[in-house]
Amino acid sequence: MDNVGVVVEDLDAAVGFFTELGMVVEGSASIEGPWADRTVGLDDIRSDIVMMRTPDGHGKLELTKYHAPALSGAGAENPPPNTLGLHRVMFAVDDLDDTLSRLRAHGAELLGEVAQYENTFRLCYLRGPAGIILALAEQIG
Q: Residue 129 carries which DSSP code?
A: G
| Residue 66, number of CB atoms within 10 A of its CB | 19
Q: Are both 24 and 59 inside the same structural domain?
A: yes
Sheet holding 60-68, edge to edge: 4-7, 60-68, 46-53, 24-32
Q: Are both 93 and 64 inside the same structural domain?
A: no
34: in domain:
yes
Q: How many CA atoms lie less than 13 Å away from 60 in the CB half-sphere?
A: 14
CATH number, position 34: 3.10.180.10
The model's pTM is 0.84
Q: Which domain holds residue 118?
A: 88-139
Burial classification of residue 75, based on how many CB atoms lie within 10 Å of its CB (0-12 exposed, 13-18 middle, 19 or more buried): exposed
Task: Give the model confidence (pLDDT) of 56-71 as tens digits.
Answer: 999 999 999 999 988 7
97: in domain:
yes
Pick from 68, 101, 121: which residue ends a domain? 68
Q: Are both 14 and 64 inside the same structural domain?
A: yes
12: in domain:
yes
80: in domain:
no
For residue 102, the SS3 value is: helix
Task: Give the model confidence (pLDDT) of 85-99 as tens digits.
Answer: 666 889 999 999 999
